[in-house]
Structure 1
């Protein structure tokens, strides 16, 4: 299963990438929302997209909105927003933008792994 990581913080990006590769995922890593959107637009496979909310050039929530507005990409993409935001209105905003799941930083690896397995099952339905 392919996983797209969009995380602008280099250490977090590398940590996520190494962890997911170790778990057997095929990972594409980007540093901002614009790069993530270009990867998604240029391909047609199923993706699990892990999008950091706060990034330069395009925020993760904006990428999420673009994904949901494009029917070619939307049906095969499961979006997990990661962020330090934890107010109810922020979580609601993320889901209204089309996120399938939400993970608060700092996150627990076992929770991340469980959310990725949920995403895999959802995409295989």
Structure 2
């Protein structure tokens, strides 16, 4: 995957941590696309996470850059997404913050508590 596409997704399931936080993250984006690697911590279908990463990296290939704190409405159809920088296994990554079913981001007051877990500064380094 790294040779053919320049990146790949690593998936560590929530069952390996605390049953709440997954750790889906990319490798190769920093080195091959000059953009921070990404992370998703929401416990979700890994294929969906991979699809989101694919969309982000496709956008990077088209010249787009993603930044912490900005909202983007063209990643998930009909929903906005934002990013926050975190440390993950000794490196900085941009965590993809996904909205709840009502489209409310975890950075907003009325977001579902389950989706707010994306803001947790969970110690993935201690669980590898």
The answer, yes or no, to whether TM exceeds 0.5 is no
TM-score in terms of structure 1 length: 0.29
TM-score in terms of structure 2 length: 0.28
Question: Larger % of helix: which?
Answer: 1
Larger-Rg structure: 2
By relative contact order (CA 8 Å, sep 6+), the higher-ranking structure is 1
